[in-house]
Amino acid sequence: MRLFPKPRMLVLIGLLTMLALVLVGRWLNATKVGGQAPAEPFRIAGNFYYVGASDVSAFLITGPEGHVVLDAGYPTTARLIMASIAKLGFDIKDVKVLLNSEPHPDHGGGLAALQQASGAQLWASDASADSLAAGGDDADTILPLRALLWIGVLGYPPPRVDHRFKDGDTIRVGPIVLTAHITAGHTRGCTSWSFPVHDGDRVLNVVSVCDTGVLATSTYPEQAADRERSFRVLRSLPADIWVTAHARWWGRYRKFVASSTAKNPVEPFIDPEGYRAFIDAAEAEFHSGRMH
Ligand SMILES: [Zn+2]
């Protein structure tokens, strides 16, 4: 009987162990920096700006009585967001309100750092508030992912949730008025936002859509019914300009490039057809049962 594997087997085990360590290391790194690259900040329309990274979005809405920042990316995206706010000529200390679409680490991760730098008040839906305050822990997430969060691999520094809102509530900072729409499904507290911006003498309706994707790692009993309702809510919102928390979904770069040469730089961002197509595609994906 052989007690030890052959030398060739030992080499193979050694190589596989190294490969596994490299892959785990890369994965850990990706969860920390999110594979995010810095992106040029820009004005979308009026007082509405993009300040996010190459893919995870963050938005700045400015006003005379203080600014609002919507979403914060990964923990390490916060410094990119702060650099973008400064590059646009605004002061992080003038940010008075922080908002979030949903509390997964790619959108809630940087909130604590932004809050620390600004002193801003964080508003969240009831379900999101619990998860945000727990650094991303969420009872609807499957156990292996929660375990990774408990040992500090996933998760993020918890921000302080100052206020909770209900579906349909409005958040005001001087003349800025944002309406919260709970569009649950991706998570229970998933929040889409609608608000007007001014472009010259016209008013444009903006909708920030919360993630509509179906995750195999996050489920709860009322999820299917919530999704059906969320699609109805999203279809009912008038949208001239639409965005989501992942920039590739709303064509950030394509629209930004088109904007830089357009006669009216706002025009490439006006995309009601794209909004409807996005909802159609998300609803079709949901009904197909495909997950990602
Ligand atoms: Zn998510």
131-174 confidence digits (pLDDT tens):
999 999 998 998 888 988 888 878 899 999 999 999 999 999 99
Ligand 1 centroid, distance to 216 Cα (angstroms): 11
Ligand 1 centroid, distance to 44 Cα (angstroms): 24
| Amino acid code (one letter) for 179 | T
Comparing 27-41, 54-68, 222-236, 241-255, the range with the smallest average pLDDT is 27-41
- Please check the confidence at residue 30 and state whether its pLDDT lies above 80: no
For position 33, what pLDDT does the model report? Answer: 53
The fraction of the chain above a pLDDT of 70, given in percent, is 91
For position 119, what pLDDT does the model report? Answer: 98
For position 58, what pLDDT does the model report? Answer: 98
Ligand 1 centroid, distance to 169 Cα (angstroms): 22
Q: Are 123 and 163 in contact (CB under 8 A)?
A: yes
For position 153, what pLDDT does the model report? Answer: 79
Ligand 1 centroid, distance to 62 Cα (angstroms): 26
Ligand 1 centroid, distance to 228 Cα (angstroms): 18
Ligand 1 centroid, distance to 105 Cα (angstroms): 8
The DSSP bridge pattern shows strands 191-199 and 202-209 to be antiparallel
Ligand 1 centroid, distance to 92 Cα (angstroms): 26
Q: What is the pLDDT of residues 86-124, one digit of tens each?
A: 999 999 999 999 999 999 999 999 999 999 999 999 999
For position 151, what pLDDT does the model report? Answer: 85
| CA 142/CA 144 separation, integer angstroms | 6
Residues with CB under 5 A from ligand 1 (ion): 104, 211
- Please check the confidence at residue 2 and state whether its pLDDT lies above 60: no
For position 193, what pLDDT does the model report? Answer: 98
